[in-house]
Every structure is written in C-alpha cells, then in structure tokens.
Amino acid sequence: MPLGVAKSSVSQWCSNIVQPILSKLYEIAGAIGCDIRDLINPTKLGDIGNKST
C-alpha cells in the first residue's frame, strides 16, 4: 500500500529530523500491521530490539 510520501520525508523521519503527523502514523501502522502505539512509544536506544511484552 503506497503511503504517498516522498523518500526525503521518510529519510527525515528516520533521521529524527521531523516526525510524521498523527494521521500518517495511523496509515503507517496499518501498512506494516502494527499498533500505532508501537510507533509512538518512546524507547531508550539500548532497549531497541529487546522489547519485552
């Protein structure tokens, strides 16, 4: 499912320069099959990949 965003926007999101608007986060969550809270829940760098749920 295309999200209709430029590669440069995604790059800025990944670099933490800017963040997508909430409505776009809902689209992203739906596209990758996760809960939106997984995208907005802050994590410590050391916790990435070690999420215990």
- The pLDDT tens digits of the residues spanning 1-46 come to 578 899 999 999 888 899 899 999 999 999 999 999 988 876 666 5
pLDDT, position 8: 94
Q: What is the pTM of this model?
A: 0.65
| Contact predicate 25/39, CB 8 Å | yes
Q: How many CA atoms within 13 Å lie on the side-chain side of 27?
A: 10
The full set of domains in the chain, from first to last, is 7-40 (1.10.260.40)
